[in-house]
Amino acid sequence: MAAAINLQSYQEPILFLATAAIVVPLFHRLRISPVLGYLAAGALLGPFGLGRLVPDHPWINWITFTNPEGTSHIAEFGVVFLLFTIGIELSWQRLRTLRRLVFGFGSLQVILCAAILGILALHLVETISGAVLVGLAFALSSTAIVIPVIAEQKRLSTVVGRASFSALLFQDLAVAPILFTIAVLDTGKPEVTTASFAWALLQTFLALGGIIGLGRLVLRPFFQLVSATKSPELFMAASLLVVLVTSLVAAASGLSMALGAFIAGVLLSETEYRRAVDVTIQPFKGLLLGVFFVSVGMSLDPLRLLQAPILILTAAAVTVVVKSLIITALGRPFGLSASDAAETGLLLGPSGEFGLVIIGSAVGAGLLPPLIGQNLLVATTLTMVAIPLLARLGRRLSRRLEQRQPADPSLAVMPTQDEVARVIVAGYGRVGQLVGDMLERHKVPYLAIDMDPMRVATERRAGKPVYFGDGSYPELLRACGIERARALVITLDTPSAIEGVVAAARKERADLTIVSRARDAKHAAELYKQGVDDAVPETIEASLQLSEAVLTDIGVPMGLVIASIHQRRDEFRVLLKESSSNRASDRNEFRARRTIGKSVVPSPRSKADGEVEPMSKTGS
């Protein structure tokens, strides 16, 4: 007899998946960040929402989140995965390119905003440590909302996008030290002495050194072994293992789990596997971030807005106004025009998800009164809700303030490596390496992807921009910058693999120039039908090269030979394209005839008399 099932133990996972299934499509259709939907769902279905009605109506318990503590443990991994992906995107080259904005503009923004907002909060919390933490919490902005808003507008490579990303990057780097400081000042722990504080710092540096040193030694060989199996499932398991182990090791060492994951991401960003790992982690990051925002929403008490409306609305408005003014003023010395500085100020003016984490941690550590903490959490959430509206307002204001004086040239014409319009080479065997060499000779930037981990490791050591991954995955092509790529060259030797890359690339960009290797004339015609711009059959190209060699060796003038070879190659290209179009029209005509015949005579393969077998899965 089967064991009895405790349905209540499955309640919250099912409720969350149902929430995600409703929130994401609905808010996507409304062009609003799903983050706001998760926050609203958490507040509505949490203990301060419908949970209040459970004592009078027990059945409501089935549609509410009843275990905030249990959910928070899973939700913590949302922040862990977010910082891991931020670390993967962080490379030393990107830091060098943006160092003035990251460590200059970003650091000054956090310091000045935290100082002024902390001073304003001092009379509210009445302790210096509490005021400092409130100032720091409100000084941070929302990476999870601002970056998607800018990306949706395709403006990450603009001056505003670059400045916003730089400030958010420094803010993300500052989160771990802030959380560590809260842990040190926790009133529930023994009193902190100079010796204990020094020992905590020493522990921190030892743990960081251990994680970084071990990571440098282990990560690349580990992923090399895993990728050699060519198993996507094993690669996914290995990626999740790295995130979980590094975050838990950091937590066991007294650091935050998020900091450990961030370090792992930075270490992986220097390897050839960073793009493949990033693509693998993205679905888990999105889902776990959803859990995180739902858990944050569960901690919000909407009735606080009715009980203390003036305090909450004033805190939210003051935060946005003060931060926007400071960021706008700071942007000018760093080369931003008045319009760009104003738009950046409005984007970064609201507080963010890490502000919620800091305030919640401060309340838990006894550094902020619970009632004030609840009010500040609601105020922070209100500012986040306003981000899409402020983004539109900032865009309109920017257009009105547009000046003829250009911004700092370093911001306008020096994109980071990931934002250069490059040629993507799918396959880096002998053919791909020759293509890469020719692109280098003509100073054309390129990026190559290959599924052979040994080859990728060898070429990386030689300084080539080669990454591990399968080009038939649309997510990987996006991570390689297909949106701004100049062309895609496919040098793979397996027809099915070539066609998979062509289909994925053409789905992502209809206007992308695609040049592909082909087995023979028949395969080339098939590729032309799929939409490649040029297909190069191996048999035909080898024949042309042999013809060129023999003609020049027997004394025919080189100029005439090259001209005739080019002419013959063009003739082949025209014939193959015509062949592909003729085959397509013949196939359509044949299908039409079959359809007419089947409308009169049932197919011999029919399952029953009068039942006609369908033409195809999609119909005709």
pLDDT class for 194, splitting at 50, 70, 90?
Answer: low
Task: Name the nearest CA neighbour of 493 among 523, 513, 467.
Answer: 523
For 321-369, how does the pLDDT look when each residue is reduced to its tens digit (9 = 90+)? 999 999 999 998 988 888 888 999 999 999 988 888 888 888 887 888 8
For 120-175, how does the pLDDT look when each residue is reduced to its tens digit (9 = 90+)? 998 888 788 889 999 999 999 988 778 777 877 777 767 888 888 888 878 877 87
Q: Out of 3.40.50.300, 3.40.50.720, 3.40.50.1820, 3.30.2180.10, which CATH number does the structure's domain 417-598 have?
A: 3.40.50.720
In this predicted structure, what is the pLDDT of residue 582? 59
String of DSSP letters for 76-109: HHHHHHHHHHHHHH--HHHHHHHHIIIIIIIHHH
And the tokens for 135?
A: 């100032």
- Angle of CA points 529, 535, 539, to nearest 5°: 120
Instruction: Output the pTM of the full model.
Output: 0.64
In this predicted structure, what is the pLDDT of residue 604? 37
**Residue 566 or 354, more confident:** 354
In this predicted structure, what is the pLDDT of residue 113? 94
Q: Are 255 and 83 in contact (CB under 8 A)?
A: no
For the chain, the maximum distance between any two Cα atoms, rounded to a whole number of angstroms, is 100
Among positive and negative, which fits the CA dihedral 74, 79, 84, 89?
A: positive
Residue 389 amino acid letter: L
Question: Across residues 500-525, what is the average pLDDT?
Answer: 89
Residue 49 has pLDDT above 60, yes or no: yes
Taking domain 11-50+68-186+202-409, whether its CATH number is 1.20.1530.20 is answered by yes
Q: Are 394 and 342 in contact (CB under 8 A)?
A: yes
pLDDT above 90 as % of the chain = 13
Residue 586 has pLDDT above 60, yes or no: no
For 359-385, how does the pLDDT look when each residue is reduced to its tens digit (9 = 90+)? 888 888 788 888 888 889 889 988 887
Burial 526-545 (b: 16+ CB within 10 A, else e): bbbbbebebbbbeebeeebe
**Residue 137 or 407, more confident:** 137
**Residue 192 or 349, more confident:** 349
Gap between the Cα atoms of 356 and 58, Å rounded: 31
Q: What is the mean pLDDT of the chain?
A: 78
Residue 603 has pLDDT above 60, yes or no: no
pLDDT class for 615, splitting at 50, 70, 90?
Answer: very low
User: What are the extents of the domains in the chain?
Assistant: 11-50+68-186+202-409, 417-598
Question: Across residues 400-425, what is the average pLDDT?
Answer: 57
Q: Are 46 and 300 in contact (CB under 8 A)?
A: yes
